[in-house]
Amino acid sequence: MSESTPSFFSRLALAAKTLFNPGFAAKVEAVASGKAPERPVLEAPKPVFVESSPDAALQLAALLQQGGRFIDFLEEDVSTFSDAEIGAAARVVHEGCRKVMREQFQLQPVRKESEGTRLTLPEGFDAAEIRLTGNVTGKAPYSGQLVHRGWKAAEVRLPKLAQGHKANILAPAEVEL
């Protein structure tokens, strides 16, 4: 923040306020002498972290591999392939992974408006559902343009894992006999 020199009339008004308001004068004197009390720092509540089991994430990765060869695609060095070859492979991976996602989740957009729509977010909007980007200053209400509608899972239908299942095996090695 850059400091600017107050105008003559601003300084004159400040001097008058200091002369006729003893409480204000005491605060000015404390600031000028370096003895002003520090302003209290408002701290956001600290998040409470809980340990999450990796099994559901591993299960989803395995399902994406099984349905769309997702891991194979990501682990392949595509630098030697043409854009057309990569595009053809991506189409197959996309189709398989999309099918898996639709089988395992009921997805819904966080916001119903079309991308590009101008909207106003009221005070108290859900910050877990909406991430503010750009020049974020001040307090809500905020007005801006919807850049991405977001996604949320309305339902999760991951299969149950059998006890003893090795969830970290995303795709077993295959040996043809």
Query: Where along the chain do its domains lie?
Result: 111-160
Determine the pLDDT at residue 107: 96
pLDDT for the residue numbered 41:
62
- The amino acid present at 65, given as its one-letter code, is Q
Q: 26: left (phi > 0), else alpha (psi -120 to 50), else beta? A: alpha
Q: What is the pTM of this model?
A: 0.65
Contacts of 111 by beta carbon, 8 Å cutoff, 6+ apart: 119, 130, 146, 149, 150
Instruction: Give the 3-state secondary structure percentages of the chain, helix then strand then coil, rounded to 5.
Output: 40, 10, 50
pLDDT along the chain (177 residues), means of 10: 65 72 78 72 76 89 96 95 95 96 96 96 94 92 95 94 92 94
